[in-house]
Amino acid sequence: MGQDPDATQRITAAAPATGSRLDAYVDRYATRTHGMTASEVRSLFAVASRPEVVSLAGGMPNISGLPLDIVGSLLSDLVSTRGQTALQYGSGQGDPGLREQICEVMQATGVRGHPDDVTVTVGSQQALDLVTRIFIDPGDVILAEAPSYVGALSTFRSYQADVVHVEMDDDGLVPERLREAITTVTASERRIKFLYTIPSFHNPAGVTLTPERRAEVLQICRDADVLIIEDDPYGLLGFDGAVPRAIRADGDDGVVYLGSFSKTFAPGFRVGWTLAPHAVREKLVLAAESSVLCPPAFSQLAVSQYLSAFDWRGQVKAFRELYRERRDAMLDALDDLMPDGTYWTRPNGGFYVWLTLPDGLDAKAMLPRAVTNRVAYVPGTAFYSDGFGSRSMRLSYCYPTPERIREGVRRLAQVVEQEMELRAAFGASSSSRRPGLDAPAPDQH
């Protein structure tokens, strides 16, 4: 069949008419879609992606560190040697060889899993979707850190979960606050289905749960019979080379562990996994089969080939160096340029710094001015399900060069100073904030 040269034009021309009728479907949508709303700052991000804007907003892994020529030849070998399998449907649970390799990868975090208990997923985002789908009825409570990963919160919302945030400080989740949250929710006769936590190099907070607190959190959840969902995509990206011991390493049946190759290899393959207690694993596979039949065989075998034929540990080390250099650039620039009254976390791994503005400033309200000054960030409210976080923002250092990071922080500091001057001139009410990361310790910047 010949190509129709006018097809694109016709589709483009038809688009506005379809767009104007979108509200025609509103009364048919399922209730669970009510929480599926586009981010209020999405339109600004379109502007933020212009080259003159330094974006400290996105969390894209920096795959400029990957040797694409080697990856290319791995992929070409894969098609010529294992094409019949790589281009075919596969098992719903994932490729058995890859599941064994995943168990080796997890050993770095102290986790000793069996390949039978691993389910390969389409990124750990699908793993989040699956665990939420199998555990959550509308109104069930999920405990999550304050702040928490925006992609998890939107999944939780789409299953109509009730997210109860638990305070963090520079050492991660605060055990005492967890205990209190469990007591309060239980007293209100609601059911806590799980604690969702990112203990290592947190997104968005950049902090890491200490070993002592890991043990305490595990014990609290055991005592209260609360399942832990441990999301660990950044665990191998610690800047001092030490890999934090996963909660799952000491947690066995009380913990479902989520991992991903998005940050240690490349997100484009969309390969993640869960390690779950046996019974949970069976439900996860059934849920996965009903949504995608099986994870993509091509991606799985590509990752498998990469792990077996390439020095992936060396590559993870190279990624750590690349991100450490950028973290240093960001912290140095913040130390040098940010006005008093602003404070931020000091990540020892991962991609993110959590910055809190001087009292009275609002990060979301300030964003248009920041974008005009050619710098972008994500306002803190995106990382809360309860409207908090207005004084805070997430800054990512993973993608821009160190020079661009410094320039971005310089532009941001200018905007913060202007906002402070405006507040001083016109007065302002205090912005809402919760204790913990969004409130300064006495000696913090």
Choice between 158 and 262, CB closer to ligand PMP: 262
Closest separation in Å from C-beta 397 to ligand PMP:
14
Q: Which of 129, 216, 231, 362 binds ligand PMP (CB under 6 A)?
A: 231
- Least separation in angstroms between residue 101's CB and ligand PMP is 16
- Counting contacts by CB under 6 A, is residue 198 touching ligand PMP? yes
Spatial contact of 123 and 265, defined as CB atoms under 8 Å apart: no
Distance CA 81, CA 79 (A): 6
E strand or H helix at 119, and its extent? strand 118-122
Phi/psi-derived region of residue 57, left when phi > 0, alpha when psi is between -120 and 50, beta in every other case: alpha
Task: State the Cα–Cα distance between residues 138 and 159, nearest whole angstrom.
Answer: 6
- Shortest distance, position 262 Cβ to ligand PMP, whole Å: 3
The owner of tokens 């299953």 is: 159
Q: Which is nearer to ligand PMP, 59 or 358 (CB)?
A: 59
36 strand-pairing partners: none
Shortest spacing between CB 346 and ligand PMP, in angstroms: 19
Per-residue x/- marks for ligand PMP, 104-123, CB under 6 A? Answer: -------------------x
If the CB atoms of residues 204 and 251 are measured against ligand PMP, the closer one turns out to be 204
Q: Sheet harboring 172-173: ordered strands across?
A: 118-122, 271-275, 255-260, 227-231, 192-197, 141-146, 162-169, 172-173
- Give the nearer residue to ligand PMP in terms of CB position, either 39 or 418: 39
- H-helix or E-strand containing 354? strand 352-356
Q: What's the burial of 359, exposed, middle or buried (CB within 10 Å: 0-12/13-18/19+)? A: middle
Which residues within the stretch 7-36 sit at the binding site for ligand PMP (CB under 6 A)?
Answer: none
* Burial grade of 223 (CB within 10 A; 0-12, 13-18, 19 or more): exposed
Total residues interacting with ligand PMP, rule: CB under 6 A? 14
In the complex, what is the shortest distance from the CB of residue 299 to ligand PMP, in angstroms, rounded to a whole number?
Answer: 12
Shortest spacing between CB 347 and ligand PMP, in angstroms: 13
Contact 61, 267 (CB under 8 A): yes
Check residue 256 for interaction with ligand PMP (CB under 6 A). no
By rule CB under 6 A, what string of x and - marks binding of each residue 149-188 to ligand PMP?
x-x-------------------------------------
CA distance 210 to 147: 17
Which of 101, 200, 262, 304: binder of ligand PMP (CB under 6 A)? 262
199 touches 173 (CB < 8 A): yes
If one asks whether residue 299 binds ligand PMP (CB under 6 A), the answer comes out as no
Q: Give residue number: closest CB to ligand PMP.
A: 123
Separation between Cα atoms, residue 162 and residue 232, nearest integer Å: 23
**Which CB, 124 or 304, lies closer to ligand PMP?**
124
Candidate residues 90, 233, 235, 251; the one interacting with ligand PMP per rule CB under 6 A: 233
Q: Which of 238, 244, 254, 272 binds ligand PMP (CB under 6 A)?
A: 272
What is the C-alpha separation between 419 and 368, in angstroms, rounded?
12
Q: Which of residues 52-81 bind ligand PMP (CB under 6 A)?
A: 59
Interaction of residue 267 with ligand PMP, rule CB under 6 A: yes
Q: Does 389 bind ligand PMP (CB under 6 A)?
A: no
Q: Give me the 125-144 binding string for ligand PMP, x by CB under 6 A, dash otherwise.
A: x-------------------
| Angle subtended at Cα 171 by Cα 323 and Cα 169, rounded to the nearest 5 degrees | 105
Can you give the binding site for ligand PMP, defined by CB under 6 A? Answer: 59, 123-125, 149, 151, 198, 203, 231, 233, 260, 262, 267, 272
